[in-house]
Structure 1
Amino acid sequence: METRRTKNGRLRSAVTALTLVVAPGIVVVGGAGDAVAATKISHATATSMFRDVGITWSSSGGCSNRNNATCTSFDQLNLTSAQGAQTLKRASGCGLNITGGTETGHASGTYSHWNGYKLDFGKAICLTNYIKNNFTYIGLRGDGAAQWQSGSGNVYADEGNHWDVTYYNCGGC
């Protein structure tokens, strides 16, 4: 924080730079008024974060190559998406298994898997009940998937055999 005197002699404080420690070893620095871009994390960082809270992951190909659609990769995942999954695990108490991450093969768009905003979770009764009992039903998506929105604004879409979750933020982490 910086303090300056105005022309009339009054003191004025202003934030001139922001340093934010978002996770061990991850620091974001920005000036006042700067938009802070999404912090991207590696596959190894994401798996460590998931392991810390008991989240599992799987892929039909048994791999983590971002450029292979049969893999489940977390390379270039947004930090807030990983934190959002941790928040979901802690809040729900459910077993969570991630079946889709940032790998190729998902629909495109700004808030896409490839851009680090989405994770797919395997269907489980505990998770389905938690979402439907704690979040607000917001209607059908263009492709017919029913959607629920958490209090923080993240969107959970029922895609039949899995939940497609769009993380706009960390869900209150």
Structure 2
Amino acid sequence: MTATIPFSARWTRLATGIATAAAVVLGAAAETTPATAAPRATTASLSAVSATYTPAQAKAKLRAAGITWRSSKNCEDKNRNGCTSFQGIRRTTVDGVISLRRASRCPIVVTGAAEIPPHKTTGTFTHGKGYKVDIALNPCVNRHIPRHARKIGSATWAAGSVEYLRESNHWDIKYKGSGSGSATPATRAWPVLRSGARGHAVTTAQQLLRIGADGRYGPATVRAVKTFQREHRLTADGVLGAATWQRLAPTLRSGARGNAVKALQTQLRRNGARIAADGAYGTATAAAVRAFQRGRQLTADGVTGPATWQRLLTAR
């Protein structure tokens, strides 16, 4: 007669097998869960593995994005000063650096990653815990970061949950996003446009209003804004502020067509997207929106809502 294995023992063995298989698939070194370990401990181990890349995975991802790295002593020891180590680097940190590379189109050289010395070791968001990287200064990056983040200190900028500190010979970048890779977008005010204004935001407003788009906020634009405001029961002062923008800039997604889509495509092209401004929200436009969103720490869903419009209109 075959002996019956108690359910608790079968569950423990199954959980152990799952944890071991996951570690192999992810390419991460994981300790074998003892046969007596509780299922709760196994779940925690899986979460820890999924939050980080192995050094090989991190380097492969960076290399594929055209990002290089170096160390002053040409080493990768996490505990040795002068090394650049990717041991324990968080996925959101690596993915964040890649997003910066794609959004800026700047050369990126990582000079510090998850090594401990000589970095600060106290606190949650440290190099040693995989939340930070250092990248070398260069004119392209030095222009891009201040233009696309808000200044919060004498040499510090922030965009969503990412903080950029400019030091003497590198940028120290802290990625505080959750393990899922999400990040809260930085709050941006809608541009306020009035008679005499010029620029790309004026052009977008004119396209949305379906009038001649010359980028100049003249009498015809003032009249069109006033008409739109009256139709939507807004104060008809001819000034294009937050309340008017929120009515004027619609939420757009795949399948949409018309002047609003053309206005969106024009803004995306201004930010480097290689797409046609044909007024059709197809796969190329959706992909361009997602790329822009990733570069600005927005939810990369390919849908153009208020947050994406704000970032497009305020990007320099």
What do residues 18-71 of structure 1 show as CA deviations (whole Å, max 9, x unaligned)? xxxxxxx55xxxxxxx9x667121111110010010000000010111111111
Residues 137-148 of structure 1 mapped to structure 2, 5 A cutoff: 137-140=151-154, 146-148=155-157
The answer on 1:116 being equivalent to 2:116 is no
2-structure distance, mates of 1:49, 1:56: 11
The answer on 1:66 being equivalent to 2:78 is yes
2-structure distance, mates of 1:104, 1:111: 12
Provide the identity percentage. Answer: 35
CA RMSD of aligned residues (A): 2.2
Partner SS for 2:152: strand
> 2:120 aligned to 107, 113, 119, which one?
107
Structure 2 unpaired stretches of 5+: 1-24, 27-43, 182-296, 301-316
The answer on 1:135 being equivalent to 2:135 is no
Task: Specify the alignment match of 2:275 in structure 1.
Answer: none
The answer on 1:155 being equivalent to 2:168 is no
> 1:166 aligned to 164, 169, 174, which one?
174
Write 1 or 2 for the structure with the bigger share of strand. 1
Task: Specify the alignment match of 1:80 in structure 2.
Answer: 92
2-structure distance, mates of 1:86, 1:132: 18
| Alignment: residue pair count | 137
TM-score (norm 1): 0.73
Moved over 4 A (4+): none
2-structure distance, mates of 1:107, 1:100: 13
Residues 18-33 of structure 1 mapped to structure 2, 5 A cutoff: 26=26
The answer on 1:55 being equivalent to 2:63 is no
Structure of greater relative contact order (alpha carbons < 8 Å, 6+ residues apart): 1
Counterpart AA for 2:139: I
Partner SS for 1:139: coil
Structure 1 unpaired stretches of 5+: 1-24, 27-33, 141-145
Task: Specify the alignment match of 1:17 in structure 2.
Answer: none
2-structure distance, mates of 1:64, 1:54: 20
Write 1 or 2 for the structure with the bigger share of helix. 2
1-structure distance, mates of 2:73, 2:98: 24
